């Protein structure tokens, strides 16, 4: 058993060194969400029938094994992670094992939730909030009425608790429009350019049904092992949903699958992928 783990770990280290894969583990904690954004990869919304949740024990176990096998960080996404009742405490436990990037829509940070996140002050956790435009109307047209004001108001409250904030901007069309204005806004809120991520809408999930966004090329996203309740996928833009059905084109192993087996299947899938720093990755 130990030698199998060592073999996985060695193969993983080699793939990272070659620039074939990333060293972050992604977890899709839930597909449930309080919002219903017009381009959502996962077709998440408040009344979604199949929430596809990972339970706390499984997530913490995965992160522990990931650390043993040489992963350097974990990203947690959804859906909206804070729709899970116990997520603040689970996040605290996760951060004791590996640095965490927590993707969130930024709309659920009540004082009560922030109190529960207090133990994370000083921990290696970044909260990545989505904000698509400096124009409230343009942002809210994609992410829902009142979204801009709620997210912008949440940022200083997170900072006041000593929590690190990043911003992710998803552009629905080629015209980056008011991007510079958005940068002025985030800098004014104390978020550096290094903590601002910009990407185009990817034509998967709801975006595909709506006919918006850019199609995903085979090497546009750096492969990073991504676990959902349904199995292991090639990268975080892979486990998308259309008309309630998960896309399996980029699934490398179906659930139930042990972590070692998921990593082995992932590495096998990436063996023939291009390696090196000069591979252009268009989506992050």
Ligand X SMILES: C[S@@+](CC[C@H](N)C(=O)[O-])C[C@H]1O[C@@H](n2cnc3c(N)ncnc32)[C@H](O)[C@@H]1O
For residue 73, which of 53, 94, 103 has the smallest C-alpha distance? 94
- By a kind-dependent CB cut-off of 5 to 8 A, residue 213 interacts, out of ligand SF4, ligand X, none, with ligand X
Spatial distance between the Cα atoms of 129 and 187, rounded to a whole number of angstroms: 14
Among 199, 247, 248, 255, interactor with ligand X by CB under 6 A: 199
Among 24, 30, 74, 78, interactor with ligand X by CB under 6 A: 78
Among 90, 105, 139, 228, interactor with ligand X by CB under 6 A: 105
Shortest spacing between CB 16 and ligand SF4, in angstroms: 28
Q: Where are the beta strands (DSSP E) in the chain?
A: 24-30, 73-78, 100-104, 125-130, 164-171, 196-200, 226-228, 231-233, 241-242, 245-246, 251-254
The reply on whether position 104 binds ligand X by CB under 6 A is: yes
Tokens of 221: 């996203």
Span between the terminal Cα atoms of the chain, in Å? 35
- By a kind-dependent CB cut-off of 5 to 8 A, residue 168 interacts, out of ligand X, ligand SF4, none, with ligand X
Window contacting ligand X (CB under 6 A); options: 52-60, 180-188, 194-202, 274-282? 194-202
The reply on whether position 40 binds ligand X by CB under 6 A is: yes
Q: Up-side HSE of residue 148: CA atoms within 13 Å toward CB?
A: 15
Asked if 199 and 171 count as a contact pair (C-beta separation under 8 A), the reply is: yes
Instruction: Check residue 202 and report its DSSP letter.
Output: B
The reply on whether position 220 binds ligand X by CB under 6 A is: no
Tokens of 197: 């991520």
Tell me whether residue 5 or residue 283 sits nearer to ligand X (CB atom). Answer: 283
Tell me whether residue 202 or residue 238 sits nearer to ligand X (CB atom). Answer: 202
Tokens of 252: 């490398």
The reply on whether position 163 binds ligand X by CB under 6 A is: no
The reply on whether position 39 binds ligand X by CB under 6 A is: yes
The reply on whether position 216 binds ligand X by CB under 6 A is: no
Shortest spacing between CB 31 and ligand SF4, in angstroms: 8
Shortest spacing between CB 84 and ligand SF4, in angstroms: 13
The owner of tokens 């980056």 is 176
Tokens of 7: 């073999």
Spatial distance between the Cα atoms of 155 and 163, rounded to a whole number of angstroms: 9
Binding site for ligand SF4 (CB under 6 A): 33, 35-37, 40, 42, 44, 78-80, 105
Interface residue list for ligand X (CB under 6 A): 33, 39-42, 77-78, 80, 103-105, 130, 168, 170, 199, 201-202, 204-205, 207, 213
């Amino acid at each position: 058993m130990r030698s199998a783990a060592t073999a996985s770990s060695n193969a993983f280290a080699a793939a990272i060194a070659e620039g074939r894969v990333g060293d972050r583990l992604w977890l899709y904690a839930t597909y449930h969400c309080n919002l219903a954004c017009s381009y959502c990869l996962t077709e998440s919304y408040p009344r979604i029938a199949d929430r596809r949740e990972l339970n706390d024990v499984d997530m913490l176990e995965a992160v522990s094994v990931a650390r043993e096998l040489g992963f350097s960080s974990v990203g947690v996404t959804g859906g909206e992670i804070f729709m899970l009742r116990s997520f603040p405490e689970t996040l605290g436990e996760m951060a004791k094992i590996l640095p965490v990037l927590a993707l969130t829509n930024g709309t659920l940070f009540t004082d009560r939730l922030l109190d529960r996140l207090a133990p994370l002050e000083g921990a290696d956790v970044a909260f990545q909030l989505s904000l698509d435009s400096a124009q409230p109307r343009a942002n809210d047209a994609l992410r829902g009425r009142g979204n801009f004001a709620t997210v912008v108001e949440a940022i200083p409250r997170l900072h006041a608790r000593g929590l690190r904030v990043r911003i992710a901007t998803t552009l629905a069309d080629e015209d980056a429009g008011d991007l510079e204005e958005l940068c002025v806004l985030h800098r004014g809120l104390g978020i550096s350019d290094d903590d601002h991520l910009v990407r185009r809408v990817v034509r998967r999930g709801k975006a595909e049904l709506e006919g918006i966004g850019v199609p995903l090329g085979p090497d546009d996203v750096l492969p990073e092992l991504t676990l959902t309740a349904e199995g292991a996928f090639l990268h975080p833009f892979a486990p998308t949903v259309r008309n309630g059905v998960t896309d399996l084109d980029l699934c490398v192993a179906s659930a139930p699958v042990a972590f070692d087996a998921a990593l082995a299947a992932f590495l096998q899938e990436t063996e023939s992928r291009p390696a090196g720093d000069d591979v252009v990755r268009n989506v992050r």
